[in-house]
Amino acid sequence: MKFNFRLFTATTLIALFPALTLAAASPWDGTWQLKTGSYKTTGKPDKYLLINGQYTCGICNPSYTVKADGTDQPITGSAYADTVAVKIVDAHTVDQVNKQKGKVLVKFRRTVSADGKSMVLEATNYMGVKEVHFSSTSVRTAAGAPGSHALSGEWQASTADDISDAGRTMGIESTAKGMKLSWNGSVADAQFGGPPVLQTNDPGHVMVALKKSGERTIEETDTIKGKVSDVIRYELSADGKAITVADEDKLHEQHNSYLMEKLH
């Protein structure tokens, strides 16, 4: 499981579990919360093209092109949406709604600054027990095609500005042979070195496998539709108060890093 803000920018976010109270059976056990200012993304930039009434999400895996007329447009291959509705609000703002089987999973609003150098993303995720609200700022790394909407071009996420508590809190509980990870009503209960297990209550049907490398290092491998989506490394601090996370996002060719602090 992971705090995957790439899914917020490109497809949708797997919302995270509200605070849990767990017995401290090991230094890992307890409730952990992502420190917002610590989140960093490097690697391949986000890429969008909006021109002549057509919207292309180049960072999505697989990429897709749909009409930008505000109506539900079918897409294939995505684990978290089978339709998207893209609406041009004005010359700098674009709204998007992702659905799966008719249910709204996430809403986005992307607003480009007047000078075209930055973009603010505001999103709401509806997949978990609680709604998750998220905002971030990206900086432009490449211009869009001539005559295209201001959204077009390439963007590098620079900050995660605001995240609901439900969207940045996870529970960790040691089990006899592995670990149970909990996010916003979604749970993965896996054995170290065991086969991948289905993450419950997740529309994308993510499979999670865990491997332990010493007492303070755990590696998680997430698989979607038989393809590895992420390899995530958790490093527990010596005092047991923080976890440093390094996430290699295979689908989007990006690396995400952040710090989680122990609440209790």
Secondary structure class of 9 (helix, strand, coil): helix
Write down the pLDDT at residue 5.
45
Quote the pLDDT of residue 30: 97
C-alpha torsion sign, points 106, 124, 121, 108: positive
Distance CA 215, CA 213 (A): 7
Residues of the chain with pLDDT under 50: 3-24
* Predicted local confidence at residue 37, as pLDDT: 86
Query: For the chain, which domains are there?
Result: 6-41+166-262 (2.40.128.20), 44-164 (no CATH)
Give the C-alpha distances (Å, rounded to integers) separating 115 from 55, 94, 140, 150: 22, 16, 11, 10
> Which helix (H) or strand (E) segment is 32 a member of?
strand 30-34
Give the per-residue pLDDT at 20.
Answer: 38
In this predicted structure, what is the pLDDT of residue 38? 92
CA 217 – CA 229 distance, rounded (Å): 20
> Considering only CA atoms, which of 59, 80, 84, 71 is closest in space to residue 151?
59
Coil vs helix vs strand at 210: strand
Q: What is the pLDDT of residues 40-82, one digit of tens each?
A: 899 999 999 999 999 999 999 999 999 999 999 999 999 999 9
CA 148/CA 140 separation, integer angstroms: 15
Q: What pLDDT, on the 0 to 100 scale, is given for residue 19?
A: 36
Residue 207: per-residue pLDDT: 98
